Amino acid sequence: MSTIGTAPASLLRPADRLGRRRIVNRAAEGVAWLTAAVAVGLLGLVIYSVARRGWSQLNLDLLTKAQNPYAGPGVAQGLANAFVGSLVIVAIATAMALPFAMLIAVYLSEFAPRRVKTSVGLVLDVLAGIPAIVIGIFVFGLIVVNHGQSGLAASFALAILMLPIVFRTTMEVLALVPQSLREASLGLGVPRWRTTLSIVLPQSIGGVLTGTVLAVARVAGETAPLLFTSSIVGAGISANPQHALEAVPLAIFELSESPYPTDQARAWAAAFVLLMFILLTSLVARWFAARSKRKLGRGR
């Protein structure tokens, strides 16, 4: 409040020189329009480039054929191995992160004393702020140095990135579950663990899904952790997470520096598919979020 009180009084007083003030206002509005136009133009340009180049390169081979090192020039190649690899890595990462994140959220919102809650929340905020490349080098030091690269190591790295996202959204939704619901259940003699598992958690499933989808959208495009954990890959389609697997962002990273137009074309097509996937998942996440908020809001 104090800052508003100290705002220059002259600003809030309709003084004279109205004409000049109107001009200043116009100029300021003009600048806001202009910066918005520049920013939106810049952002639009990126999406437009990817869409234009990616769309024209899109074909079924991309999804059905693997990168083929035996192919001579002119043989159709795709990135099926990268799509399968990404699918496996992200699926396993989700399976690792989801239960872990939910349990933490349940503990903090249902059991933990306030001080524990704040400090664990802070630790997870710190975790969310650690750059993906540092997570990559951590998993490299923890797993890869002794056991070699693998899809599992990559999944573990991505799971660490997913954890704070799923946790945060689950926490937000658990906080929205009406306290009266918990009390009613307990009042009926339902033990606390059953209240939590069968009353509170089902209410928050929408939030959990939102968080999961958001986290999947985030990590599906991550390259940095994969460099350290799953980048030495062979040819051919493989879904065995015990070996290093190719992934879509890695493929884009590698193909982007190629001098061959056909490689660049595949990079654009893969970027386009990745972008569409992320847009779609973000939309789904938004839908889940809106839905669960609406429902819980009604419950109050």
Structure token digits, residue 159: 């799971």
Is the CB of 71 or the CB of 76 nearer to another protein?
71
Is the CB of 59 or the CB of 71 nearer to another protein?
71
Is the CB of 42 or the CB of 60 nearer to another protein?
42
Nearest approach in angstroms of CB 152 to another protein is 13
Q: Measured between alpha carbons, how far is 33 from 39 in angstroms, rounded to an integer? A: 10
Nearest approach in angstroms of CB 241 to another protein is 9
Nearest approach in angstroms of CB 300 to another protein is 11
Q: Measured between alpha carbons, how far is 76 from 100 in angstroms, rounded to an integer? A: 42
Q: Measured between alpha carbons, how far is 90 from 221 in angstroms, rounded to an integer? A: 10
Please return the burial class of 91, using the count of CB atoms within 10 Å of its CB with bins 0-12, 13-18 and 19+: middle
Nearest approach in angstroms of CB 203 to another protein is 8
Is the CB of 31 or the CB of 76 nearer to another protein?
31
Nearest approach in angstroms of CB 109 to another protein is 6
Neighbours of 34 (CB within 10 A): 10
Structure token digits, residue 149: 């690269």
Structure token digits, residue 87: 């699918």
Is the CB of 52 or the CB of 59 nearer to another protein?
52
